[in-house]
Structure 1
């Protein structure tokens, strides 16, 4: 990092090396060094509320786009942006080979998380922070993937489309399905028809059985 991005002034003390299970404690918002025993609590001691969205990028964000990103980050404040690089082995596997389709042609995947706590207004502040999350998402639209604007299924986002509770309509599902799975969605719906034809397992963004 110091060789390629000396502007960051990164120090060894800025970095944390930890086990996977300890990282789950860190990402849950606990202070570094907190015992993993907190994971045994059915109700977490500290409640961090958040809204997460995601994007894929097939081109480098231009300088003016980075300036816009920085301005929005500073304005919102309570936001985390994580950029996961793609390429390498990811590019070598066909997007139709597995259910996960976001492979060749993607520079990186970005996760945007706007977060707040009880001290920020708790549940009563939810609408304001969710609106900030959507504003951030709109700001990045010119630089992200399009047709469809792809998303990572791990970061479920009902804003990109969802069924009513208890229902799984195929036409509705095609909307979010294309963003999560691209051309693999219909194949997955066919698999669902074989594995769970009665659609017992479902949620607002599940894959329906192909009739």
Structure 2
């Protein structure tokens, strides 16, 4: 059954003219919000994420376990963090806070699928897991070994600028851009929620 669902997920985007993933535009959206977070909260060691298309298969495997219709949620499994339905502006904010704020993450992939029950498009993402603590200071002033300052983020050495698939064409690019804008709203909300969390935490520590 799992293999069948994965096969259907692979075929559905082609049949529905649905892009497989938001690729470079989504990556830029995430990194832009990580940069804003690093600047606003003076995080000195925030990594810039790079796109790894090989991770998309891992999203498919997890989607198969949810019957292709996951709720906004985060699942950690075998060293990876999965973020489901992050395009849900009403409920998705809490699922992307870690994606925006976790400093040590290095790689990500994303995927646009369609819930087979409702026909609603679902944006999912996966990153490597990291528990690296944030370091307070000017953004990109204390980059980890193997990285260098790039604006407000720490860029991995020998990292190509983004990842662009072959066969990119205007209809898919437009759909990706629209969905990326939706997720950008979610990330903006996540940053605002982060502010509340940090203020509440500081009050507890000071109290």
Q: Same fold (TM over 0.5)?
A: no
Larger radius of gyration, structure 1 or 2? 1
1 or 2 for the larger relative contact order (CA 8 Å, sep ≥6)?
2
Task: Compare the two structures and name the one with the higher strand fraction.
Answer: 2
Q: TM-score, normalised by structure 2?
A: 0.25
Q: TM-score, normalised by structure 1?
A: 0.25
